[in-house]
Chains A and B, each alone.
Chain A
Amino acid sequence: MTAEPYRGLIYERTAADVRGLALEPAEIFVLSLVDGALDVDAIASTTGLDGARAAACLARLAELGVIRVAPIRPRPTRPVPAAPTTAPGADRPTAHATSQVTKRSPPGNAALTAVPTGRPPAVTVVPFDATTKPAPSIAPNNTQIPLSSDRAPVPVVTSPPPLSGEIDTSLDIGVELQARILDLSAKLSDLDHFQVLGVPMGADRTQIKRAYFSMIGTFHPDTYFGKQLGNFTKRMERIFQRLTEAHDVLSNPKSREEYESYLRVLGRTRAMEELADQPPPSVEDMEQLLLAAEQAAARKAPTPEPVAPAAPPPRPAKAPPAMPRAPSLRPVVEMVDDPVARRQALARKFGKLPPAPKPVPVQQNVSELAARQSAAVKDLHQRYKHRQESIKTQRVERFARAAEEALASGNTVSALNTLRIARTLSGGDIGTVERLGELEQKLGATVADTYLERARYEETNGHYEQAARSYSHAARSRPDPDVLRSAAECYLKAGVELRLAGELARDAVQLAPNRADLRLSLAKIYEAAGMQQSALRELERALELTPESDRIKQWLKRLKRGGV
């Protein structure tokens, strides 16, 4: 059977029960990826199988009635969303508070708009956009097994249809161009620099420049000098600004590198956030995948390649939307138990072996028989219980190990997931609780570090509100006074969420009450919020801690005077 005819097909799961079937690990793996959106090539590249093999698996699965070809769905057309007054591209506040002016954020708004076709709307960095958590994914069929996507899909949310009044035929620019401007300016905050320029991630400098130069011919205001543009002027300027920013960041090798690693980090954190909102995966699904991976490893006797590289690929640009990455668990998981018995159990599970032979009852003295039977039953029962316990512990251990490995290979999302399963299975057994507790701490540290990396980039590039949120996330996973303080100061710089900033700064002080600098940050926030008395109090305490500080003395003087 050749794969050719199946290449473009998309399959979806049926309601059939998988567990009674005799499936090969590869087939299970392929099955886990069928979600009504991926086509054969995508599945092939994800699983690492070659196209023919993948197609063959799919064919078999279809034969078995577990999957079927998905009906053609009409492609959603590009909606032309209503232009919001505080459009996503608009710049958001940043700054210090002056004594007579304090800033707050405008009513929060990031308009998430539909990104219809092919490419996943991956991550974005836009000046001062208020990032909101992505809504839960509504990928069709919801059969995702979110084991390992470090770049979780960004949700697809449709926006309201355009107001018919947006296009203005009296203007000096064509209707087509107007539509294009409306579309692009609405999407601006969802696109990353590569997407906004329309270049692939690997584009070299020449390609980037070429793309930029050819686009600005259309979007630079001078092209329309003296022409009537109505409200499209502002939109065009925003697009132009964004294009220029994208070009400037990407054409400098250093800033490009920093940006690309930021995109990776952003993807990871987004995936983590996504995960938090979703229900945990079913244990069976997890098991299946684990087993499949283990078996595949056991078969490939020589050292198996780690499936996930240390730095996961930048973004699933090549892959269509809503695609979880291949499970990147290292296939080598040592088993404590007897491999033969395990295989047998496995085989039994999949119906390949007849059930274990029961001890044949011997026709003997009835009471002896009864006694022996009950003893045998008791013994069996004991062994069974013992066996269950050890299975349980083993299971937890397996998951714990898998989580550890995932963590070690940088796959924080799958580690998180696996750990979750382990927790559910462990049921409060002390040994496992400790084990898991350790793991959780390590995981927490990695999560925190990922968020810190993200926060630092955002702060350096002036996206203070986003940075504050990232710092907060980091602090949640690993409380640290400096991180809390950074979050507070970033909120202050962004001029938003002063109350939150205050709480964070207070938490920082609580964690390290003898640090004068933390109290000064808190004082700054109090002052900005107009809470003079509280500010004074903190300054005085800070002074007690560092009595020689002239700066604090000046500050106190100024505050008491009531001036700027």
Chain B
Amino acid sequence: METVIGIDLGTTNSCVAVMENAAPVVIPNRGGYKTTPSMVAVTEAGKRLVGHIAKRQAITNAENTVYAAKRLIGRKWNSPQIKNALLTSSYHIAEGPHDDVRIVLRDKSYSVPEISSMILQEMKIIAEDYLGQPVTKAVVTVPAYFNDNQRQATKDAGTIAGLDVIRIINEPTAAALAYGLGKEIDRVIAVYDLGGGTFDISILELSTSGVFKVIATTGDTFLGGEDFDARIVDWLVHGFQQEHDIDLRQDRMALQRLRDAAEKAKCELSSVRETDINLPFIISTGRNEALHLQRTLTRETLEKLTQDLIERTIEICRDALGDARLEPKDLEDVILVGGMTRMPAIQKAVSEYFGRTPNKGVHPDEVVALGAAIQGHALVEDKNDMILLDVTPHALGIMTFGSHFEELIPQNTTVPTSRTKVFTTSRDNQTAVKILVMQGENDNAEKNELLGEFILTGLRRAPKGEVEIEVTFEINTDGIVSVFAKDLETGQAQSIQVTATSGLTQDEINNMIESAKDYLVERRTDEDFEAAKQEAESLIAEIERLFPEVEAVVGSSDFGQDALGKARTVLQHARAAIDAKGAAQIRQHVEGLARTQRMFKGVVSRAQ
């Protein structure tokens, strides 16, 4: 049975987990950290950096470091969220083909799934290093409120990274899985998930029969920790503007520093009542003068700055309970997921609304990845003691005349689900019928998300009304929409042309897969080289350290001079190999170096 890893692809941080002896466990990265920043950068030398190493250089390389790509994934260029991101991001966002979005780093254009694929690839490498074997299958999580475009784009990211994403699951559901595993309980719970970029609230029913059923879910895919940070940044920028009449936002590096400091301050204020924000040399005035930013932020101020955000999450909770036709008192537990839930004001608001202290037994940063690992394992193993019943978070429908949205599959319908509808021609000899498929809750179709224009083509010529095509709209367990069509008279499959969808074409994806593979090869080679180089260099250092001593002992004899000469040659060749960056060559010389070192040691110890 193959190993399936579970990846929590977060806005700010990502986490990977795997099942080990019937329990899920988080895999730490090389540095020993259990989570990895969701950041990607390209250095001046054109090298790709992912994770902690990318974050460390974010300030100095602000323009070419991408963060919070999750806020952009699956969105159209013409959406309000992209417009917002344009104003606040330090990296360059550009328009792509068919209303798509591109990120430009060092004059090279990347699609958003491509950036996310780099993070996924990093998590894949972390898992492979730990497990000591290649990993190809994964379960990747998304916010429950992600729409079809966002889910598809995330799946594409996985494919590009060389992963077979066997399932996309919703983050709150994954958390509930990790929470309920092995518990043998019958319980209705709420999962309040406030992460770096998104907010989800899900109401689930757990049962001793091993079924996890989502009753209702809703959220906001543009509400998260980043917005809290943004408020602090605004406050800092505003204060500075008042004092010095300079807009710090204009300087990318300053902006990045502000963001960084804001995040740190926010986290600190969860445990202390006030904290200092200290940014010396934040910006230089035209007159060669450097300005400093120093301010104290209290918990109280932070709470005031972000009160409306917190209230909005509670509003959304109200909606969810309404959809579930339940009241807070009907719930038996509330679990908190996501780093932001560490904030005391949020915990207070949640306690007040739900009328109970939230369950703190789950690790807010890790529980989602754990749940993903559990689900991955459950899918491939033969035992069937666990079933996850999730729902689609948005209604699916089509646009009809007058911009009216006709709903086919309502919000919160358990998936997998499908609906069929028969279409026919309204004019004689009509050869194509166009269907606009949309997702959303608005009666006005234009306010909903267009998933695509599906054109039934090649219809046989006939008087109007005679050709009948049965179209099936299906939402699978990933929450992704498919459309099939069949000619009712002939029973043959009807061809559908899809246009006006955003997202990557298969060709584009294939190209990206190739470059990802290339990157992986390059990366492994680099690692290999680094390992060999380190080994060689430590031996070289040893030898050089012992050189004078050995020279003192044997330098007088011819034999000794000969030996030293040989040793110098070995060192020279080794260094040359290192400079040539040839890992294989270095290894060859390592043997020689090791022998030399042993010999030197021997000489020195005998001389004692």
A213-B207, A221-B477, A222-B477 known; A97 and B400 CB under 8 Å? Answer: yes
Interface string of A241-272 (1 = CB under 8 A from B): 10010001000101000000000000000000
Q: Does B406 make an interface contact (CB < 8 A)?
A: yes
Q: What residue of chain A has the Cβ atom nearest to residue B208's Cβ?
A: A213
- In the assembled complex, the Cα of A217 lies from the Cα of B464 at a distance in Å of 46
Q: Does B97 make an interface contact (CB < 8 A)?
A: no
- In the assembled complex, the Cα of A92 lies from the Cα of B406 at a distance in Å of 15
A535 to chain B, nearest CB (A): 13
Q: What residue of chain A has the Cβ atom nearest to residue B378's Cβ?
A: A222
A96-B400, A98-B400 known; A217 and B421 CB under 8 Å? Answer: no
B interface majority secondary structure: strand
Contact B421 A495 (CB under 8 A): yes
Contact A103 B422 (CB under 8 A): yes
Q: Does B427 make an interface contact (CB < 8 A)?
A: yes
Contact A564 B488 (CB under 8 A): no
Contact B424 A103 (CB under 8 A): yes
Q: Does B468 make an interface contact (CB < 8 A)?
A: yes
A251 to chain B, nearest CB (A): 9
Q: What residue of chain B has the Cβ atom nearest to residue A253's Cβ?
A: B325
Q: In the complex, how many residue pairs between chain A and chain B have their CB atoms under 8 Å apart?
A: 112
B188 to chain A, nearest CB (A): 11
Contacts of A93 in B (CB 8 A): 420-422
Q: Does A348 make an interface contact (CB < 8 A)?
A: no
A206 to chain B, nearest CB (A): 9
B450 to chain A, nearest CB (A): 15
Contacts of A223 in B (CB 8 A): 384, 387
Contact B401 A97 (CB under 8 A): yes
Contact A102 B465 (CB under 8 A): yes
Q: Does B31 make an interface contact (CB < 8 A)?
A: no
A interface majority secondary structure: loop
Contact A220 B389 (CB under 8 A): yes
Contacts of B400 in A (CB 8 A): 95-98
B70 to chain A, nearest CB (A): 26
Contact of A104 among B388, B424, B430, B477 (CB under 8 A): B424
Contact A100 B434 (CB under 8 A): yes
Q: Does B89 make an interface contact (CB < 8 A)?
A: no
Q: Does B417 make an interface contact (CB < 8 A)?
A: yes
We find that the number of chain A residues with CB closer than 8 angstroms to chain B is 43
Contact B421 A95 (CB under 8 A): yes
Interface string of B373-409 (1 = CB under 8 A from A): 0000011100010011100000000111110101010
Q: What residue of chain B has the Cβ atom nearest to residue A92's Cβ?
A: B420
Contacts of A96 in B (CB 8 A): 400-401, 404, 406
Contact A220 B468 (CB under 8 A): no
Contact A222 B388 (CB under 8 A): yes
Q: Does B501 make an interface contact (CB < 8 A)?
A: no
Contact of B465 among A104, A240, A564 (CB under 8 A): A104
Interface string of B413-439 (1 = CB under 8 A from A): 010111111111111001001110000
Interface set, chain B 446-492, CB cutoff 8 A to A: 464-465, 468, 470, 477, 488, 491
- In the assembled complex, the Cα of A468 lies from the Cα of B492 at a distance in Å of 31
Q: Does A209 make an interface contact (CB < 8 A)?
A: yes
- In the assembled complex, the Cα of A225 lies from the Cα of B380 at a distance in Å of 7
Contact of B491 among A85, A90, A241, A254 (CB under 8 A): A85
Contact of B422 among A104, A226, A564 (CB under 8 A): A104
B59 to chain A, nearest CB (A): 45
Contact B209 A102 (CB under 8 A): no
Q: What residue of chain B has the Cβ atom nearest to residue A221's Cβ?
A: B416
Contact of B426 among A86, A105, A225, A530 (CB under 8 A): A530
Q: Does A277 make an interface contact (CB < 8 A)?
A: no
Q: What residue of chain A has the Cβ atom nearest to residue B205's Cβ?
A: A209
A91-B420, A106-B468 known; A100 and B426 CB under 8 Å? Answer: yes
Q: Does B211 make an interface contact (CB < 8 A)?
A: yes
Q: What residue of chain B has the Cβ atom nearest to residue A495's Cβ?
A: B422
Interface set, chain B 184-223, CB cutoff 8 A to A: 207, 209-211
A529 to chain B, nearest CB (A): 9
Contact A99 B209 (CB under 8 A): no
A106-B470, A237-B418, A495-B421 known; A101 and B426 CB under 8 Å? Answer: yes
Interface string of A172-188 (1 = CB under 8 A from B): 00000000000000000
- In the assembled complex, the Cα of A517 lies from the Cα of B224 at a distance in Å of 48
Contact B380 A226 (CB under 8 A): yes
Contacts of A59 in B (CB 8 A): none
Contact A103 B421 (CB under 8 A): yes
Contacts of B378 in A (CB 8 A): 222
Interface set, chain A 189-227, CB cutoff 8 A to B: 209-210, 213-214, 216-217, 220-223, 225-226
Contact A216 B211 (CB under 8 A): yes
Contact B416 A237 (CB under 8 A): yes
Contact B433 A100 (CB under 8 A): yes
Contacts of B423 in A (CB 8 A): 101, 103
Q: Does A302 make an interface contact (CB < 8 A)?
A: no
Q: Does A94 make an interface contact (CB < 8 A)?
A: yes
- In the assembled complex, the Cα of A564 lies from the Cα of B399 at a distance in Å of 12
Please name 16 further chain A to chain B contacts, defined as beta carbons within 8 Å, in addition to the given A98-B399, A99-B401, sorted by A numbering.
A85-B491, A90-B420, A93-B420, A97-B401, A100-B426, A101-B426, A106-B422, A213-B207, A213-B209, A214-B209, A216-B387, A217-B210, A222-B379, A226-B379, A240-B416, A241-B417
A positions within 8 Å CB-CB of B: 85-86, 90-107, 127, 209-210, 213-214, 216-217, 220-223, 225-226, 237, 240-241, 244, 248, 252, 254, 495, 530, 564
> Which 5 A-B pairs have CB atoms at the shortest separation, nearest pair first?
A213-B209, A225-B379, A93-B422, A244-B414, A98-B400
Can you list 26 A-B pairs, Cβ within 8 angstroms, ordered by A?
A90-B420, A91-B418, A93-B420, A94-B421, A95-B408, A96-B401, A96-B404, A100-B426, A101-B426, A102-B426, A102-B465, A103-B423, A105-B422, A106-B468, A209-B207, A217-B209, A220-B387, A221-B416, A225-B379, A237-B418, A241-B417, A244-B389, A244-B414, A248-B414, A530-B464, A564-B401
